[in-house]
Structure 1
Amino acid sequence: MDFDLSWILLGLPFAFVLGWVASRLDLRQLRIENHQAPKAYFKGLNFLLNEQQDQAIDAFIEAVQNDPDTSELHFALGNLFRRRGEYERAVRVHEHLLSRGDLSLADRQRAQHALALDYLKAGLLDRAEAALLKLEGTPFEAQARLALLANYERSRDWTQAAQIAQKLAHANQGSFSGRLAHYLCEQAASCIANQEPEQALSLLQESIETAPDAPRPRIDLAKLLNSQGKPGEAYAALQKSLESSPAATPLIAGPFAEYALASGHSFEALELLKTNYDLAPSLDVLDAIVALEATVQGPSPSARDWYVRHLEREPSLVAAAKWIAGEKLEHEQFHPQVQRALDHAVKPLTRYRCAACGFEAKQHFWHCPGCQAWDSYPTRRVEEL
């Protein structure tokens, strides 16, 4: 049968018209989609930049409804919910992402990390731990381990915290020897509270080996030895701490003088403290010197003259108040009122202040109760900072 080419020639214009109509329909649909989703998205960004979070959330919800397959919009929405403290809604957004079968591996890992952060911010530590453990072997592994470390510290699970710290150290994420020593000291404190002194002693010795220059292990060890009726060994432990951690002398001076008196090392301790004071004057070292001199030489004004010497080196309201406390004033009948006013004035100056968050306390903390930072408290009082 002969094939008539005229039919092809007649069909070409018709095919061209159909193709043109189809392309116009596709372009129109594309324009509609591009007009709806990005417009809502950029509107949300604009609200976010202007710190209008409520309007930004509404805009992002609209964008997600117009383009439910866009993971970036879900991440933006989830992060906004978390920032506003709406953790339940943030969890739902990130769980929805994880439930999608078409999500890429990178986005799945990112969603898992975001979900873990939601649980952490919400204070759901058990769920946060489970979510963070799933990030092992992913690009978020280092961040997850740091979050796990903070999580275990917060729940005072020192054994798990030590394991995570060792993993971070092996991965070259920093030096954690000081923190590991603190964990061992915390475990030792628990053993002491549970009447397990031998276990506590072993942990403290391990802590000293872990961080030989850290002051806390030897200070805690000396306290334990003294409680066991071994002031001589306690004195020796603090003497080593003075050599390895001279910056911590203000914390060591008080118990050092106490153990020296109990073990018969008063003269030796007094000379060591005087040498240290000459190098770095400190109120706590000053008090220890006064206490030792008063014991060695007997009650006399010469011991208290150290406060006057301190005032000659640097002004100190605390030292002045302590000196006046033992002096006879011209109007002695007013001495109690004057002393009470001075003691009230110097009380804030004798506190310790966290260098990270500014939290002040009467006692020195190794772990700040305010910001949870380690070793953030200087060894000197507020007046000396």
Structure 2
Amino acid sequence: MEFDLGWILLGLPLAFMLGWLASRFDLRQLRAENRRVPKAYFKGLNYLLNEQQDQAIDAFIEAVQNDPDTSELHFALGNLFRRRGEYDRAVRVHEHLLSRGDLDGKDRDRAQYALALDFLKAGLLDRAEAALHKLEGTAFEAQARLALLAIHERSRDWVQATAIAQTMQAADQGDFSTRQAHFLCEQAQALIVSEQWPQAKQLLEQAMQIAPEAPRPRIMLAQMQLRLEQAPQALATLTTLGQEVPQALPLVAPLLAQAAKACGQEQQTLALLQKHYQESPSLDILDSMVDLEVAAGQLPAQAAVRYAHHLEKEPSLLAAAKWLHHETLGHPQWQPGVQRALNHAAQPLTRYRCAACGFEARQHFWQCPGCQSWDSYPARRIEEL
């Protein structure tokens, strides 16, 4: 059988034509897929900007299905799940990213940090801590240490919190001296409860050395000294605090008056309070001044004059209630009812408000129970802010 060269000449153009058609078909399919992926992606972004999280999640899931190798879509989807509180789905997304062999080191660290945040938001502190420790030496090291610090604060592990704060301070990742002072005060508080006075005093003195401008260590030291009937030492501690940190004096004025009465130093302390009151009027300082003056034998009418003068400076409902308490009215039978009404109206104004989150409390907190911020409560009450 002879080989016909004509078939070859006829087949070559046909093969070329079929190859060209196949390539055009693949190219059109690829373009269609590329158009479909951005469309779903931008649709998700549009929903996200309009705060339509359910529709945004559906759009991102569609985009991920069309292009499962796109890590950015996975990150966006995982963050959305976390914001919605669907922590198990966020964990699955970020664990899937970590299981991929083609993920570069930067994205792997990013996925590890996102996974740690998932555990942290879900309240799985032990798993979050383990995930955060894997970020040592990465670009997320500082954020991971801050998250670890928050974990130890929530679990009240002050020794570990102190160690992390010292590490970050040494690495120039922020000034944590005030936080370290709070951690030492928390440890001292536990020792005070068990009446281990020397150890507590040692920790408080260490806190004063670390953060000389922090009022809490001196306040706790003065309280401990009063419990041990060391009134002169407590008075000296609080007087030094008033001189070095005058903005904290409204917070310690009642304690200062108590120490002064215990060691017979009413006049000197009264002069100190009057000086601070002239520079910065405060109802707490005025209350302590009146307390010392009444202890020295001053008449209630004279105390009422004090509050009346304060009302001229600041229109305070609290001061009005105090004035009414000391004032002798022409119809004393009406005083209890009026006093109760004023006290009821003034009660919300006696609270302290967190400057970070607005959480209100009857007592002053060094760490906000709402947002866990340190030193976010001003020394003045709500009415005086």
Shorter-normalised TM-score: what interval? over 0.9
1:109 Cα offset (Å): 0.7
Letter in 2 for 1:373: S
**The residue matched to 1:225 in structure 2 has which SS?**
helix
Distance 1:75 1:298 in 2: 70
Is 109-118 or 174-183 further displaced after alignment? 174-183
Which amino acid in structure 1 is aligned with residue 339 of structure 2? Q
Q: Which residue of 1 aligns with 2:71?
A: 71
**Partner residue in 1 for 2:301:** 301
* Percent pairwise identity: 66
1:349 matches 2:349: yes
**Structure 1 position 19, deviation (Å):** 5.0
Q: 1:368 is paired with a residue of what secondary structure? A: coil
| Partner AA of 2:373 in structure 1 | A
CA contact (8 A) 2:300 2:326 kept: no
In structure 1, the partner of 2:129 is 129
Instruction: Please say which of residues 300-309 and 231-240 is displaced more in the overlay.
Output: 300-309
User: Is the 8 Å Cα contact of residues 225 and 231 (structure 2) preserved in structure 1?
Assistant: yes
1:163 deviates by 1.8
Please give the alpha-carbon distance, in whole angstroms, between the structure 1 residues aligned to 2:365 and 2:269: 25
Q: Secondary structure at the match of 1:321?
A: helix
| 1:94-127 deviation line (CA, Å, top 9, x unaligned) | 1111111221111111110110111111111111
Residues 34 and 220 of structure 1: CA distance in aligned 2, closer, same or farther (over 3 Å)? same
Counterparts in 2 of 1:223-302, with a 5 A limit? 223-299=223-299, 301-302=301-302
Task: Output the CA distance in 2 between the equivalents of 1:356 and 1:76.
Answer: 28
Q: Could you tell me which residue of structure 1 aligns to residue 59 of structure 2?
A: 59
> What is the match of residue 207 of structure 1?
207
- Kindly indicate whether the alpha-carbon contact (under 8 Å) linking 2:283 and 2:319 is maintained by their aligned counterparts in 1: yes
Equivalent position amino acid for 1:352 in 2: Y
Which residue identity is paired with 1:128? Answer: A
Following TM superposition, by how much is the alpha carbon of 1:12 offset from its aligned partner in structure 2, in angstroms?
Answer: 6.9
- CA drift of 1:196 comes to 2.1
What is the CA distance between 1:234 and its match in structure 2? Answer: 0.9
Task: Give aligned pairs, total.
Answer: 381
Q: What residue in structure 2 maps to residue 324 of structure 1?
A: 324
Question: Partner of 1:3 in structure 2?
Answer: none
2: distance between equivalents of 1:320 and 1:112? 58
Paired amino acid for 1:122: A
Give how far 1:195 is off: 3.0
Which residue type is aligned with residue 235 of structure 1? L
- Determine the C-alpha separation between the residues in 2 that align with 1:349 and 1:40: 52
Q: Partner of 2:220 in structure 1? A: 220
Consecutive unaligned residues of structure 1, counting only runs of 5 or more, are 1-5
User: In the alignment, what sits opposite 1:45?
Assistant: 45
Q: Counterparts of 2:382 and 2:54 in 1: how far apart (Å)?
A: 43
Confirm or deny that 1:94 pairs with 2:98.
no
Residue in 2 aligned with 1:310? 310
1:122-161 equivalence runs, <5 A: 122-161=122-161
Match of 2:363 in 1: 363
DSSP-derived class of the 1:174 partner: coil
Q: Which moved more, 1:357-366 or 1:301-310?
A: 301-310
Cα distance in 1 between the residues matched to 2:107 and 2:242: 53
Q: Write the distance in 1 (CA, Å) between the matches of 2:252 and 2:202.
A: 22
Of 64-73 and 89-98, more deviation after overlay is shown by: 64-73
1:166 is aligned with what amino acid? Q
CA distance in 2, matches of 1:249, 1:103: 57
Q: Counterpart in 2 of 1:333?
A: 333
* Range 171-180 or range 235-244, more displaced: 171-180
Give the C-alpha shift of residue 277 in structure 1.
Answer: 0.9
- Aligned-partner residue type, residue 154 of structure 1: R
Give the TM-score of the pair, scaled to structure 2: 0.92
Give me the CA root mean square deviation: 2.2
Query: Bigger shift: 138-147 or 302-311?
Result: 302-311
Query: Contact 1:290/1:304 (CA < 8 Å) preserved in 2?
Result: no
Distance in structure 2 (CA, Å) of the matches to 1:14 and 1:52 = 54
Matched residues in 1 for 2:156 and 2:196: separation?
A: 19
CA distance in 2, matches of 1:62, 1:300: 77
